[in-house]
A and B are shown apart, each in its own frame.
Chain A
Amino acid sequence: MSSTIAPARARPARLDPSLLPGETGMVERPRRRFLPFDPWHLFLAPLAVVMLLPLVWMVVTSLLTEAQTHHFPPVLWPGTPQFDNYLEAIRRSAFGTWFWNTMVVTVAIVISNLVLCTLAAYAFARVRFLGRGFVYFVLLATLMVPLQIVLIPTFLIVKELGLIDTLGALIVPNLASVFGIFMLTQFFRTLPIELEEAARIDGASRLSILLRIVVPLSLPALATLAVIQFMWTWNDFLWPLVTILTNQDAFTLQLGLATFQGAHQTTWHLLAAANIMSMLPMLVLFLLAQRYFVRGIATQGLKG
């Protein structure tokens, strides 16, 4: 027996307001709620405090007077924030030089990486050429080798090239990174090859396919590479330490900060200010491009 139900026109959807977006709709055993909020906050909130504490405390310290930094119990809030500390830190050290150097080196490396790694990665991903597999394998093998092995010999090579104590020592060895090539090769392989094939049939050269078709489709991956490379270069300490020996004009921020700490042993308020200033570009970049940082790290995990 069939039954006829319902008018032909359906009524508009009624959303269930009790469901937060994304919450699983699964029926759970009814649990008595002891708290007016989700119990996970009890773990996450203190965790957030612990993770942010060093940063926040550093900011506070950067606004204290010198006397306040020599106080125990620690002064938790400056009476009047000493914004002057920032200027003083710049004045008392070569902060300006360090910042400029780091910026120059980082931007140079990021741009160079974007160009060279894209070219190479495209070739490895899409162009069939003699020796491709072998060269790719050898390149990947270098990723396995830890830094302390190459440290000394690379130093010697850079010395032979006469680059010691110059920014060139920091820039030249890092103009292309194997990591960048690897990451982009993986990514380019995921693009639909039909687009490139159509372009080849239309008569486009390899270079113009790369520039006009592949690159515009790869902006997120390129952004991710840029952001990760920026971070590594900006934060690099060991290599500048090793190659910039006596020339203080070529110090990067990390090097400068390290010596700042040595030279001005007790001026925590200034050191704090310098530290905050050195972190600012990275923090800002992170806040703006959080998605790319996370994606860059996450894809490393998913590639297994």
Chain B
Amino acid sequence: MYPGPVVAVDDLSLEVGEGEFLILVGPSGCGKSTALRMVAGLEHVSHGTISIGDRVVNDVPPKDRDIAMVFQNYALYPHMTVEKNLGFGLRRRRMPRDDVRARVDDVSRMLGLDELLRRRPGQLSGGQRQRVAMGRALVREPEVFLLDEPLSNLDAKLRVQMRSELKRLHDRIGVTTIYVTHDQVEAITLGERIAVLSQGVLQQVGPPQDVYDHPANVFVAGFIGSPPMNLLTGVAVDGHVTVGEVELERTGAPDGEVLVGIRPEGLRPVGAEHRGPVFEVCVDVVEPLGDEVLVHGSVAAPDAVAATEPEEGILAAESESGRASVIVRLPPEDRPATGSLLRVTPLPNALRLFDPASGRAIPN
């Protein structure tokens, strides 16, 4: 499938491979839902083309595009039973009744809905409704599945459960799928490839681990990964980067100001005798999470906060105090005291450099 639609705001060009599970992820208002709806035919495309297979479908109404969609609020027909809901699309297309029955039975068995066939949506729980919405899409056996934040109305536990079910389903059925979410955890765990959007502009696309390890710009760096990547302002001279008082081993950076990014797990606590770059983190808050500990603190360096809200621009308020806030991930046994000094060093290859003006990553 080769979609190349123009999102309401700006350019977007994407190619989704056959059978691929692509996730569009980004904050609210970034245009991901609009992009999905354009593929569905629910929004007009002002510039560009959308193609499914080798068919250009810009002027093709939704029902002829061979797609199926799962809406965020499920959009189940409240006056029809689950069975009728599932079969609605097939019956509209004049499929023989027996075939409709067969498909509906198949899908309801697959999703565990066979007990519920006679019920109405109003009598179902949130999780059950979500499965019916999925079933309605599956039953059509389309060329493309479109899912618009299908899990966001479920409670946390159900969401985790449905995530793995979705993955299992995709492995089993293998239909090209485009999935929209604002939850970057969902994106990373579910997608074969993820496309990060912000304000209608595609920021980066690639396999989740790639995007996580090598964010293309400051936005992606701050958006993907929780807690977000630490960003500090540094200066590069002759290929050496200095952040505050600490000199980092890095080459390849052009002279001038540079943004240095280190993920919380990229900082390792060290003793007093360690050689090499050491940050002294003044510990502010310690959050024990069971399997790990998050330490919030500050270092003596100018801060640079990556903006994940569109209105803020690349660099939000710079810290006045000359100290930058950082978050460090520690193994669960380590519990530094508040106010103490935690000495950490960046792991090899943990540093990411970004150009402060454009936000783009500076490659090695």
Contacts and interface: CB of A to CB of B under 8 A. Distances in A.
A4 B216 contact: yes
B60 A27 contact: yes
Contacts of A27: 41-42, 44, 58-62
B226 interface: no
Given A10-B10, A10-B310, A25 B361 contact: no
Contact of B44 (A2, A3, A8, A16): A16
B11 A6 contact: yes
A10 B201 contact: yes
B42 A26 contact: yes
A7 interface: yes
Contacts of A30: 59
Given A2-B204, A3-B205, A8 B314 contact: yes
Contact of B201 (A6, A14, A25): A6
Contact of A25 (B44, B60, B360): B44
B208 to A, nearest CB: 10
B: contact size bracket: 35 or more
A226 to B, nearest CB: 36
Interface in A26-71: 26-30
A26 B214 CA distance: 38
Nearest to B44: A25
A13 interface: yes
A10 B200 contact: yes
A1 B193 CA distance: 10
Contacts, number: 87
Contact of B203 (A1, A6, A16, A28): A6
Given A19-B44, A27-B41, A27-B59, A8 B219 contact: yes
B181 interface: no
A5 interface: yes
Contact of A11 (B9, B44, B358): B9
**Residue from A1, A2, A14, A28 with most neighbouring chain B CB atoms (10 Å):** A2
B358 A8 contact: yes
Contacts of B359: 8
Given A3-B204, A29-B61, A10 B199 contact: yes
A5 B60 CA distance: 29
A3 B215 CA distance: 10
B192 interface: no
Contacts of B328: none
Given A8-B219, A27-B62, A2 B210 contact: yes
A13 B9 CA distance: 4
B17 interface: no
A203 B64 CA distance: 65
Nearest to B218: A8
Contacts of A29: 61, 64
B202 interface: yes
A29 B61 CA distance: 6
A4 B210 contact: no
A9 interface: yes
Contacts of A7: 358, 360
B10 A25 contact: no
B46 A4 contact: no
Interface in B272-323: 310, 313-314
B314 A6 contact: no
Ranked 7 nearest A-B pairs via Cβ: A2-B206, A8-B359, A4-B216, A10-B199, A25-B43, A27-B41, A6-B201
Given A3-B204, A25-B44, 12 more contacts: A2-B206, A3-B205, A5-B201, A5-B205, A6-B202, A8-B218, A8-B219, A10-B10, A11-B10, A11-B201, A16-B44, A26-B62
Interface of B: 8-11, 13, 37, 41-44, 46, 58-62, 64, 198-207, 210-211, 214, 216-219, 310, 313-314, 358-361
9 contacts: A2-B204, A8-B359, A9-B313, A11-B9, A13-B200, A25-B37, A25-B44, A27-B41, A27-B58
